[in-house]
Amino acid sequence: MKLLVTGGAGFIGSNFILYWMAVHPDDFIVNLDKLTYAGNLENLKSIENSPNYQFIRGDICDANVVFESMNGVDVVVHFAAESHVDRSITGPAPFIQTNIVGTHVLLEQALKNKIRFHHISTDEVFGSLKLESSSKFSERTKYDPRSPYSASKAASDHLVNAYYHTYGLPITITNCSNNFGPYQFPEKLIPLAITNLLEGKKVPIYGDGKYVRDWLYVEDHCRAIEAVLLNGKVGETYCIGGMTSDISNLDVIKKIVAHFGKDESVIEFVADRPGHDRRYAMDWSKINKELGWKPAHDFDEWLVKTIEWYKQNESWWKRIKGSLSFRT
């Protein structure tokens, strides 16, 4: 099988490519990535000379580049997106361009070439759950995006579904919860906390810190996408979540701080983000029942392993960490 992976130099995309090539060594992967600030080919150094891998630097909004990239491809796995909520608040335009227009360009070319299309999306399209509730997002949850980022992803989800219902394009969609693990850009909550502590800095956290997230180790996410690509039903959406939900950002930071043997005085509460969603939680029972997938990585254990990865790969994150905002 030949796969076109968009955004394959980013955090989740690069982890997916490394996973897929390890598990499916006979398949061929084309990686199409614009190499924005969050794209890093160093993530893929171990396979850059593989005869079953090709990198194309290009923009998914460029129809000519997309057309050339799809030559002989069996399936598109679409990760490419602007994904940082804070950046979407200060500048929404790139999110609209990449996440909506770029997805449309890909869909048009996939339709012309009759190529299966898998779209990677987020739980943030569903809005916010009440902090005191026990409810979870599912495939039946009404869309209610609250930020320019989540609104752009919601729009792209709707476009993908429209191309299935209107044109018969074979599509699948996955909506995942917050990922963590190796190669995550250090503007996000967990790697920012880890790298700040390694640099002897304080760890910033928005508002009261009582924002609850569902945490998914990135390899579990890759396994879920694999399950959908191999056995998922065309036209269906699958929600993907981790072993740990209903843990606050503050508690996550406290776990990291404790691992470093630091006092909680290193935690710095900062002004809250506008429109900050209070709680996310995912019901992944559909993908479990239909495809047999479930998360395999315990949050506490793999949080420690993630911390150790950043300790051992200081040169990687120091080269890319500058003056960054953060996502919670």
The count of C-alpha atoms lying within 13 angstroms of the C-alpha of 63, restricted to the half-sphere facing its C-beta, is 9
pLDDT over threshold 60, residue 324 = no
Q: Are 95 and 77 in contact (CB under 8 A)?
A: no
Q: Kindly provide the residue ranges of all beta strands, DSSP E only, lying in 242-287, ordered along the sequence.
A: 244-248, 267-270
> Quick one: 225 and 253 in the same domain?
no
What's the rounded mean pLDDT across residues 104-110? 98
Burial classification of residue 208, based on how many CB atoms lie within 10 Å of its CB (0-12 exposed, 13-18 middle, 19 or more buried): exposed
> Quick one: 236 and 263 in the same domain?
no
In a domain, 145, yes or no: yes
User: CA 54, CA 170: separation in Å to the nearest integer?
Assistant: 24
| Cα–Cα separations (whole angstroms), residue 182 to 48, 118, 121, 155, 272 | 18, 23, 20, 29, 27
What percentage of residues in the chain have a pLDDT greater than 70?
98
* pLDDT, tens digit (0-9, with 9 covering 90-100), for 177-222: 999 999 999 989 999 999 999 999 999 999 999 999 999 999 999 9
User: CA 312, CA 106: separation in Å to the nearest integer?
Assistant: 37
In a domain, 327, yes or no: no
In a domain, 293, yes or no: no
In a domain, 287, yes or no: no
In a domain, 144, yes or no: yes
Task: Give the residue carrying structure tokens 């509730």.
Answer: 133
* pLDDT, tens digit (0-9, with 9 covering 90-100), for 210-246: 999 999 999 999 999 999 999 999 999 999 999 877 8
Tokens in use for 216? Answer: 């998914």
Task: Give the residue carrying structure tokens 């916010």.
Answer: 128
In a domain, 283, yes or no: no
* pLDDT, tens digit (0-9, with 9 covering 90-100), for 153-182: 999 999 999 999 999 999 999 999 999 999
Domain boundaries, position 303: 186-213+244-278+299-320
Higher-confidence residue of 244 and 149: namely 149
pLDDT value at position 326?
Answer: 47
Q: Are 18 and 46 in contact (CB under 8 A)?
A: yes
> Quick one: 132 and 261 in the same domain?
no
Counted domains in the chain: 2
User: CA 155, CA 288: separation in Å to the nearest integer?
Assistant: 26
> Quick one: 82 and 152 in the same domain?
yes
User: CA 30, CA 21: separation in Å to the nearest integer?
Assistant: 11
pLDDT value at position 328?
Answer: 45
Residue 2 backbone phi and psi in degrees, to 5 = -115, 125
* pLDDT, tens digit (0-9, with 9 covering 90-100), for 74-86: 999 999 999 878 8
> Quick one: 139 and 206 in the same domain?
no
DSSP 8-state assignment for residue 323 = S
In a domain, 46, yes or no: yes
> Quick one: 122 and 220 in the same domain?
yes
What's the rounded mean pLDDT across residues 317-323? 77
In a domain, 37, yes or no: yes
Q: Kindly provide the residue ranges of all beta strands, DSSP E only, lying in the chain, ordered along the sequence.
A: 2-6, 28-33, 53-57, 75-78, 116-122, 171-176, 178-180, 203-206, 212-217, 237-240, 244-248, 267-270
* pLDDT, tens digit (0-9, with 9 covering 90-100), for 26-71: 999 999 999 998 899 999 999 999 999 999 999 999 999 999 999 9
> Quick one: 167 and 46 in the same domain?
yes
> Quick one: 90 and 29 in the same domain?
yes
Supply the CATH number for residue 107's domain. 3.40.50.720
> Quick one: 6 and 129 in the same domain?
yes
User: CA 269, CA 250: separation in Å to the nearest integer?
Assistant: 10
> Quick one: 115 and 10 in the same domain?
yes
Task: Give the residue carrying structure tokens 């893929």.
Answer: 44
Which residue numbers are catalytic? 123-124, 149
What's the rounded mean pLDDT across residues 291-318? 96
What angle separates helix 299-312 from helix 249-259, to the nearest 10 degrees? 60
Confidence of residue 322 (pLDDT cuts 50, 70, 90): low
> Quick one: 274 and 230 in the same domain?
no
| pTM across the whole model | 0.95
pLDDT over threshold 50, residue 20 = yes
Confidence of residue 319 (pLDDT cuts 50, 70, 90): confident
> Quick one: 166 and 258 in the same domain?
no
| Cα–Cα separations (whole angstroms), residue 234 to 6, 70, 163, 214 | 20, 20, 12, 26
What is the residue-averaged pLDDT of the chain?
A: 95
Supply the CATH number for residue 314's domain. 3.90.25.10
